[in-house]
């Protein structure tokens, strides 16, 4: 008996990397799995790998950034396995370039796959789950880049949007028994090969992409039926709760703040409370001013 026996799951962008690992663990724990990837050959390889171990599995090559693709993907799961209980929105792409040089095309290409794809696949799946009356599980994929990362306006913005959609859907879908969480994975993959921190390519130690899979399998199971609206850092040796952005230090004045009051009070009260920002969360470095740097 596996903890996912009788469940049907879809994983997008699962022909390689992190998504492949999710599929292996979902199938190993009893789920029937649709392996989606726009790269059909890669999806087929994962299907063969799972089928060879006796798993129930099928490939789908939809472009998840289109409404037809999202609909066909969810329909295939229902047609082949009788229902859909979980969708893992994992597909992703990058088009890194610094903000001032980024083109509309680069911005749009990344939003289409991450934001629109996650929106459309989740909506198609949630409509089915509501109709089934069975509840269900949506797992989105974010990244620490959403804290801010040099050269990733499109990617960081997309992952921030996905985090906010995760919280919003968790609120809206709880009445149907549909849980909505996200993972912020870590892995050595085709995508991580281009990873930059502070604008520089970094040589990171190898992290097996499949190490994100066990937690995804757990989240899809009934043992996690009390977990929703959460984001978890996964991969390597970690499972970390990602804190929601929240209001922090403040100053308050009955009747509201006039400009002169702000000028007088702001630096005194909040001047040493500004937040570190960006992927590396270094202490706030700009107390002496933000000025053009010498070329």
Ligand X SMILES: NC(=O)c1ccc[n+]([C@@H]2O[C@H](COP(=O)([O-])OP(=O)(O)OC[C@H]3O[C@@H](n4cnc5c(N)ncnc54)[C@H](O)[C@@H]3O)[C@@H](O)[C@H]2O)c1
Q: By CB under 6 A, name the binding residues for ligand X.
A: 12-13, 15-19, 36-39, 42, 63-65, 90-93, 113, 117, 141, 143, 185-187, 189-192, 209
Nearer to ligand X, 12 or 29 (CB): 12
**In angstroms, what is the minimal distance from the CB of 92 to ligand X?**
3
Query: Rounded to the nearest 5 degrees, what angle is found at the Cα of 29, between the Cα atoms of 141 and 133?
Result: 70
Task: Residue 161: name the closest of 118, 103, 125, 216 by CA.
Answer: 118
| Nearest distance in Å: CB 237, ligand X | 14
User: What's the rounded Cα separation, in Å, for the pair 17 and 209?
Assistant: 6
Active site residue 155: yes
Task: Identify the active-site residue in 155, 167, 284, 287.
Answer: 155
3-state secondary structure 189-249: CCCHHHCEECCEECCCCCCCHHHHHHHHHHHHCHHHCCCCCCEEEEECCEEEECCCCCCCC
Distance CA 13, CA 37 (A): 4
The residue nearest ligand X at its CB is: 17
Query: Looking at beta carbons only, is 197 or 274 nearer to ligand X?
Result: 197
Query: Closest separation between CB of residue 228 and ligand X, Å?
Result: 20
Tell me whether residue 36 or residue 221 sits nearer to ligand X (CB atom).
36
For residue 218, what are the CA distances in angstroms to 51, 222, 224? 21, 8, 7
Which residue lies nearer to ligand X by CB, 210 or 227? 210
E strand segments, the chain: 8-11, 32-36, 57-60, 86-88, 136-141, 178-184, 196-197, 200-201, 231-235, 238-241
Phi, psi of 116 (to 5 degrees): -65, -40
Nearest approach, Cβ of residue 14 and ligand X (Å)? 7
- As measured in angstroms, the least distance from the Cβ of 54 to ligand X is 24
Nearer Cβ to ligand X (55/69): 69
Per-state percent for the chain, helix, strand, coil, to nearest 5: 45, 15, 40
Q: How far is the CB of 173 from ligand X (least distance, A)?
A: 21
Using the minimum distance from each CB to ligand X, give the nearer residue, 74 or 113.
Answer: 113
Burial grade of 271 (CB within 10 A; 0-12, 13-18, 19 or more): exposed
Task: Give the catalytic positions in this structure.
Answer: 155
């Amino acid at each position: 008996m596996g903890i996912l026996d009788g469940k049907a799951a879809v994983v997008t962008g699962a022909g390689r990397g992190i998504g492949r690992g999710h599929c292996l663990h979902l199938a190993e724990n009893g789920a029937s799995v649709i392996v989606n990837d726009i790269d059909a050959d890669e999806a087929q390889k994962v299907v063969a790998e799972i089928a060879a171990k006796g798993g129930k599995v099928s490939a789908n090559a939809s472009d998840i950034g289109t409404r037809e693709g999202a609909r066909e993907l969810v329909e295939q799961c229902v047609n082949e396995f009788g229902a859909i209980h979980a969708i893992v929105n994992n597909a992703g792409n990058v088009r890194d370039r610094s903000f001032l040089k980024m083109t509309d095309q680069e911005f749009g290409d990344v939003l289409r796959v991450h934001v629109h794809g996650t929106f459309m696949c989740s909506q198609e799946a949630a409509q089915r789950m509501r109709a089934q009356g069975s509840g269900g599980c949506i797992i989105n994929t974010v990244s620490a880049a959403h804290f801010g990362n040099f050269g990733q306006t499109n990617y960081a913005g997309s992952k921030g949007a996905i985090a906010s959609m995760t919280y919003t859907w968790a609120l809206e879908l709880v009445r149907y028994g549909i849980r909505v969480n996200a993972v912020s994975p870590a892995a050595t993959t085709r995508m991580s090969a281009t990873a930059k921190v502070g604008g520089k390519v970094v040589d990171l130690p190898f992290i097996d992409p499949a190490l994100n899979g066990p937690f995804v399998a757990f989240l899809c199971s009934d043992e996690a039926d009390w977990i929703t609206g959460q984001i978890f850092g996964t991969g390597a040796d970690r499972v970390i709760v990602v804190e929601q952005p929240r209001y922090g230090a403040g100053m308050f004045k009955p009747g509201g703040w006039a400009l002169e009051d702000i000028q007088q009070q702001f630096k005194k009260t909040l001047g040493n409370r500004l937040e570190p920002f960006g992927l590396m969360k270094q202490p706030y470095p700009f107390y002496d001013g933000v000025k053009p740097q010498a070329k």
